[in-house]
Amino acid sequence: MSSTRINSVILGECGNRTPIILLHGWARSLSDLLPLGELLSADYPVHVLDLPGFGDSGMPQESWDTIQYARRILQYLDDNGLAKVNLLGHSFGGRVTLRLARLAPERIEKIILIGSHGLSPKRSFYQALRIWAIRRGAVILKWIDAFFKTTLFKNWFTPRYGSQDYLAAGALKGTLVKTVTEDQSAELPKITAPALLIWGTEDLAAPLEMGRRMAHLIPRARLLELPHQGHDPFLDVNAHLCAYHILPFLAEGQDVKEAVGNG
Amino acid sequence: MAAGKKRDIAVLYGGRSVEHEISVITALQLMKALDPVKYNVIPVYIAPSGRWYTGNSLFEKNCYRNWASCQHTLTAVSLQPWPGIGGLKVEGGSLLKRFSTLLTGRFDTIPVDVFLLAFHGEYGEDGCIQGLLEMAEFPYTSCDVTSSAIAMNKYLCKSILRDHGIKVLPSKVARKFDAIHNLKSVTDSILQTPGLERFPLFIKPNHLGSSIGIAKAEDIESLHAALAKVFLYDTEAIVEPCLESMFEINVSVISSDPTRASVVEIPVATSGALSYEDKYMRGGGKKKGARSQGMASLVREIDPAALDSTIKEQVTSSALKAFEVLGCCGVVRFDFMHDNTDGSIYFNELNPQPGSLSFYLWVKSNPRFLYTEELDVLIESALKRRSQLASRERELGFMALK
Ligand SMILES: Nc1ncnc2c1ncn2[C@@H]1O[C@H](COP(=O)(O)OP(=O)(O)OP(=O)(O)O)[C@@H](O)[C@H]1O
């Protein structure tokens, strides 16, 4: 698996500061996070990555789950001689960030999550019922297709009930199915790294409610709510606002450590 | 800032100027950059009609495109020019509310601590709105009445700066009123002005910005045509010699403590045939097109490595001096022109509320300001200026009126 190529853009020449790794969301690419990366790179070395399966990175040989993604990122750190890093993940990149924080806590200094996934959303009774019915329906249709050699699932069901992401997922359908429903709530209380959570209050893809629960579950988390912002509160000029909060968060405790290091 | 309480920041924009739309873009951008932890952001939009509105739909671009339907979701407000009013007056409301206002004289207000101005052009950049805010004793983040008014009069601005040793092109103002009565005497007096005896000449409106109505004149006929064109938009035209081989250099200045100048930029799109003479530029600079909209999207070269450092220094020191001479506050942008024929650098104009508040320059400057930090600086300096004004001694009374 580790042979899957990772494309990245490396910015900034900030000597021995802990680098920041930026991980984008589902069906997006590193270009999403470049403006923010450029602003952060004034103070830190920054690696903006294309996740495998997206942008100019290679396609995984099999359908990965988020743990496999996390392992591949660890491999990237090794390949680039990065002993310790800060991680920033948006949406799907947040899922991977959370996994990494558990998988290799000794290598992760701080984490930043923007409109991150990783918890299953709270649903109303009606929404839950509908989703249950759709999942059952899919299973039944697949039986029928297998039995009668029809293509109902592909040609009738999917265009109607498959999500936008599912329809667009192409070769990554397996990964999407594995990751989209996962819930890391049992893992979050064990995360030791300090976390900054940035959330648009109007986020429809990862509702604010999820951010609040996440901030509650991660022991050293702080939530920054950005009013009037949606799922991507770091594009264009918003990158300035994010950097304005991220840089002091990363700098916290640095003076103490440097002083100890020198003494 | 006192911990806990957020400051109420009213972002004031739009207005009755031809640059209305650019102002909306500047405002939408800066509202995204303001820190929601420190500030409570209140959009206050002056529609082209001149009426003031506030409401959450103003954060959306669509509101301006579908104004007829969006307007109903907004609250009409106004500003009473009374010291200590403390906020915006809510207009209209239910019948009961209006009746009670009528009876008691009390009305609902939306509290405001600081007005953040994002206007371009008439009424917003020329001292008008500043006058209203002074009367109501509000802190606001732009040049004051005097410096705004001077900036919006190109001739006046250049005359003052010339008297303080900053190089400007010779110029002459032509008034529409005079031209209507006697065009020949107007053109004669232009052509008799020292420095304007020869064509080509450059004609622009004396007050407007955004390159509206500008023209080059090669002879008397085209001078007449150019004047006629300017008088469609403005009552005064300013005539200068035309620099045929030049490039522009802009720099922003901000009133922080101390007053700072940004890196310089060379806007490329503004004058199609921008020529960098080899003697001034060593090799090619890196070209960069910013991603954002508004002023920030012009093709420009920011802090071009190849630009002669003496040119940079000259522009920067002239800008800092001009900022002080004119008594500017907030963030402004000075535009200079470099004459390639003899290397002279001329002050061209001052933008008291520059597009995108020049944030794209500050983020490349040293020390660097993120846009969010730049806005913090503007708000703090507005508060400081207001408290200085408030500390003046003012004895009012009726001693002479016996
Ligand atoms: N004397 C001149 N000779 C040659 N070109 C000139 C001269 N004056 C101005 N220009 C050109 O015309 C453009 C507009 O002029 P100026 O900046 O004075 O007017 P404006 O309408 O206020 O522009 P803006 O506010 O958009 O900068 C300048 O950017 C410059 O390229």
Spatial distance between the Cα atoms of B21 and A105, rounded to a whole number of angstroms = 50
Task: Please tell me the distance from the alpha carbon of residue B127 to that of residue B129, in angstroms, as a whole number.
Answer: 6
pLDDT tens-digit series, residues A53-111: 999 999 998 889 999 999 999 999 999 999 999 999 999 999 999 999 999 999 999 99
Question: What are the distances in angstroms from CA B261 to CA A93, B286, B356, B384?
Answer: 39, 22, 16, 20
Q: Which residues pair with B335 in a beta bridge?
A: B250, B349
Are B145 and B135 in contact by the 8 Å Cβ rule? The answer is: no
Backbone angles phi, psi at A152, to 5 degrees: -60, -40
Asked whether residue A18 carries a pLDDT value surpassing 80, the answer given is: yes
Structure tokens at A224: 């920054």
Please answer whether residues B389 and A259 qualify as being in contact, where contact means their C-beta atoms are separated by less than 8 angstroms.
no
Residue A255 has a pLDDT of 60
- Alpha helix (H) residue ranges in A149-186: 152, 158-161, 164-168, 173-180
- Identify which of A67, A185, A191 has the alpha carbon closest to the alpha carbon of residue A119: A185
- Of the ranges A28-42, B272-286, B364-378, which one carries the lowest mean pLDDT score? B272-286
- B291 to chain A: which residues are within 8 Å by CB? 35, 236
A224–chain B nearest CA distance, Å: 8
Q: Could you tell me if the CB of B122 is within 6 A of ligand 1? A: no
* CA-closest candidate to residue A36, choices A13, A12, A57: A12
Sorted by where each starts, the structural domains of chain A and their CATH numbers stand as 8-120+181-262 (3.40.50.1820), 125-177 (no CATH)
Mutate to test the interface with A, among B38, B295, B370 (most CBs of A within 10 A): B370
B182 half-sphere exposure, CB direction, 13 A CA radius = 5
**For residue A163, pLDDT beyond 90:** no
pLDDT of residue A262: 39
- Burial of B381 by CB count in 10 Å (0-12 exposed, 13-18 middle, 19+ buried)? buried
Rounded CA gap, B398 and B380, in Å? 36
Q: Which of B307, B397, B289, B295 is nearest to B353 (CA)?
A: B295
What confidence category does residue A261 fall into, taking pLDDT thresholds of 50, 70 and 90? very low
ipTM over 0.85: yes
pLDDT tens for B13-67 read 999 998 899 999 999 999 999 999 999 999 999 999 999 999 999 999 999 999 9
Query: Is the beta carbon of B18 within 6 A of some atom in ligand 1?
Result: no
Distance CA(B300)–CA(B296), nearest Å, equals 9
> If pLDDT is split at 50, 70 and 90, which confidence band does B275 have?
very low
Query: Could you tell me the distance, in angstroms and rounded to a whole number, from the CA of residue B294 to the centre of ligand 1?
Result: 18
Query: Is B36–A225 a contact, with Cβ atoms under 8 angstroms apart?
Result: yes
Alpha-carbon B163 to chain mean position: 23
CA distances from B367 to A195, B261, B361 (A): 28, 10, 11
Say whether pLDDT at B272 is over 60: no
In degrees, rounded to 5, the angle at the alpha carbon of residue B231 between the alpha carbons of residues B229 and B236 is: 130
Chain A interface, best mutation among B28, B356, B371, B376, by max A CB count within 10 A? B371
In this complex, do B372 and A42 lie within 8 Å of one another by their Cβ atoms?
no
- Measured between its terminal Cα atoms, the distance across chain B in Å is 47
User: What does pTM read for this prediction?
Assistant: 0.89
Does pLDDT of B154 surpass 60? yes
Residues in Cβ contact with A7 at an 8 Å cutoff, skipping those fewer than 6 apart: A30, A49, A50, A55, A56, A57
Considering only CB atoms, which chain A residues are within 8 Å of B365? none
Task: Summarize pLDDT for B2-11 with one digit per residue, the tens.
Answer: 457 899 999 9
CA of A42: which chain B residue's CA is closest?
B368
Share of chain A above pLDDT 90, in %: 67
Q: What is the pLDDT of residues A115-140, one digit of tens each?
A: 999 998 777 777 777 777 877 888 88
Q: Hey, is the C-beta of A243 within 8 angstroms of any chain B C-beta?
A: yes
**Cα(B211) to centroid(ligand 1), Å:** 6
**Among candidate residues B42, B46, B56, B34, the one with its CA nearest the CA of residue B9:** B42
At B100-111, the pLDDT tens digits run: 777 777 778 999
Select from B161, B206, B207, B211 the residue to mutate for testing ligand 1; criterion: most ligand atoms less than 8 Å from CB: B211
Chain B residues with CB-CB distance to A244 below 8 A: 35, 370, 372-373
Q: Would you state the pLDDT for residue A133? A: 81
Q: What is the DSSP string of B300-365?
A: EEES-TTB-HHHHHHHHHHHHHHHHHHT--SEEEEEEEEETTT--EEEEEEESS-GGGGHHHHTTS
pLDDT at B378 over 70: yes
Higher pLDDT, A155 or A28: A28
For residues A223 and A138, the answer to whether their CB atoms sit within 8 Å is no
Tens of pLDDT, residue by residue over A195-214, are 999 999 999 999 999 999 99
Give the SS3 label for residue A13. Answer: coil
Domains of chain B: 7-140 (3.40.50.20), 151-167+245-387 (3.30.470.20), 172-241 (3.30.1490.20)
